């Protein structure tokens, strides 16, 4: 089963993708995971990606698709995979479909975690993170404050990119890049929208319901 998560900054893609992966027993793969793994393994494509990452440039779609192809051919992806953060753009989505078709597979579900810009701003300006373990915590309502200890022993900080101006700029970039991807998957009949403004457990229930109503894994046409 191939499942793709789409959603705006603050929609909870990583959280929900990990929960669904655990529920279905499938590997959860984020864009960062894919790139780090390829770079660490020193594959030819990993070396290409590192040359872009080291100078702060975006990794080209061709290189990303090659790395994803390697991922699809791994043994642990034979039953399926939960994609978090990829594909991000319509060209990536079309390229991903081609990779899957070559392997007799297809995207089964595309889950759009729907969240308004104002709600994204509220969420992201009200969170702290631990640089030591990457944990995210919400502030307010008796929650932690800057400098408080994380269970791992690190100290909670405010992320520099969690300012209102930066969040709104990220949201605008998301709309520019991802809306065509949303439209593409909607035209293919694989897109389902889940209200991401609700509590985490309610969103997880909506995700499971969306996956459970679509039936068996799809196979590429032909």
From the list 36, 88, 158, 218, the catalytic residue is 88
The question of whether 168 is a catalytic residue gets the answer no
Q: ω before 180 within 30° of 0 (cis)? A: no
- Beta-bridged to residue 191, according to DSSP, are 110
The question of whether 219 is a catalytic residue gets the answer no
The question of whether 47 is a catalytic residue gets the answer no
Q: What is the token pair recorded at 47?
A: 């070396």
Secondary structure (3-state) at 54: coil
From the list 19, 105, 123, 127, the catalytic residue is 127
Could you give the CA distance from residue 131 to residue 134 in angstroms, rounded to a whole number? Answer: 5
Q: ω before 203 within 30° of 0 (cis)? A: no
From the list 41, 79, 103, 159, the catalytic residue is 159
The question of whether 94 is a catalytic residue gets the answer no
The question of whether 127 is a catalytic residue gets the answer yes
What sign for the dihedral angle of Cα 22, 28, 32, 35? positive
From the list 19, 105, 123, 170, the catalytic residue is 170
How far, in Å, are 79, 207, 216 from residue 12 at the CA level?
Answer: 24, 12, 26
* Residues with a known catalytic role: 13, 88, 127, 159, 170
């Amino acid at each position: 089963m191939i499942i793709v998560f789409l959603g705006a900054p603050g929609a909870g893609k990583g959280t929900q993708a990990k929960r669904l992966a655990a529920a279905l027993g499938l590997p959860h793969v984020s864009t960062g995971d894919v790139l780090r793994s390829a770079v660490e393994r020193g594959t030819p494509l990993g070396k290409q990606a590192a040359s872009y990452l080291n100078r702060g440039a975006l990794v080209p779609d061709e290189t990303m698709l090659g790395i994803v192809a390697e991922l699809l051919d791994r043994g642990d992806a034979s039953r399926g995979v939960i994609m978090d953060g990829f594909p991000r753009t319509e060209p990536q989505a079309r390229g991903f479909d081609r990779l899957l078709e070559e392997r007799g597979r297809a995207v089964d579900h595309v889950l759009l975690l729907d969240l308004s810009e104002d709600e994204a701003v509220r969420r992201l300006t009200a969170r702290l993170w631990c640089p030591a373990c990457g944990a995210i915590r919400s502030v307010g309502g008796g929650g932690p404050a800057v400098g408080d200890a994380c269970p791992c022993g690190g100290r909670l900080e405010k992320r520099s990119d969690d300012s209102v101006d930066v969040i709104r700029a990220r949201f605008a970039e998301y709309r520019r890049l991802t809306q065509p991807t949303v439209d593409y998957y909607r035209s293919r009949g694989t897109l389902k929208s889940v209200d991401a403004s609700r509590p985490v457990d309610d969103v997880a229930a909506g995700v499971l319901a969306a996956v459970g109503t679509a039936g068996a894994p799809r196979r590429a046409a032909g």
